[in-house]
Structure 1
């Protein structure tokens, strides 16, 4: 028997007005759930993204003064969304159209099947796909995920996917911890916290599309910082 799943959407954003506008249109085709956008964009995109909350119903934009990192933005979104007691789950996704809103139903169906506290949309779970990206980057991503699986000791296939559904219980546990990282590696840190607290973790396959607008916000410096935080998770 299917249950009604109340959820809010959390979207971190940085200079992605065009893609975010398209993403919100796609979300609104099927879902009228609250959407919290945490934006670190520069002007004029900051103002353009801020205006989206007037264009779309139940879209709430929080503008920050400078880029503080993807993970930091998501945590701000968690804190805002969890205040609404109607939100039993929080769905995290990227603003650059790498994640398809039509696949949200997969997360909801999985949540309906069992009591999962975290459901990860995986590129590498059976049925998952990656589109429009160089083979070398796919190989690097697989190697990073293999290392994380061995180092952190968690049996999942995709540690760096930002397409996820969290239960309220998982969010409250994450927020009760002091998160050390601020960039994309926060995805692995929050996963590790949830695993360490023995919560239930599941995966669903997704199709990941490489960016349509703009350029990647992850650089070599952030990769090195991320490696440091991953090592720190278990060593300290």
Structure 2
């Protein structure tokens, strides 16, 4: 029996990369999307293959819906050539960018950038890919702890993620007839290069977050990749329409 296949947007680095590697350890193949860093994406493909799973990488600008039909055509070709299949099992809407600006300084162009990447893109990419997702499959959206607690400078980013949390419930309701589960995972502050690597590289920010987290430290990519694998697994088959926060207990 062939492995199940996951599409992970933004899979060339950070949480997307870690999730793909964790899935590979569970015998799940991955098709990663990347925006511009082809070599980084191919390196992740090689790491996945070293773990005994199959993988491929495809370029995609999640913020540009006009490119989605061409992406699907490339995806169908890759599925046919590398997997001899025409369907996938999982979709992880992970790709994103950060923005740290006070509410009063956030301009329309910056708002639109975040909206296109974090809300409009996942909304229509999921819609476009639905015919390729097997009945009984699973969709996992990615939110943020900032949709629950507030830290100044994240209003536009958090607003888009809050909208994704509402959308997740509607997707779960409307796709339930096909047996497709839809959940949303909200990481806390994680040590990656996201947002210019502030959490990882700024000692003051790192210490502040750790001091306000019940478990006393900042999150690591492994803390999130394992959650992705768990939420896509059959062990979570009765978890649906849920927001799951993985933050170690931030700002309780």
Q: TM-score range by the shorter chain?
A: 0.3 to 0.5
Q: Which has the higher contact order (CA 8 A, sep 6+)?
A: 1
By percentage of residues, which structure has more helix?
A: 2
TM-score normalised over the length of structure 1: 0.41
Query: Which is greater in Rg?
Result: 2
TM-score normalised over the length of structure 2: 0.39
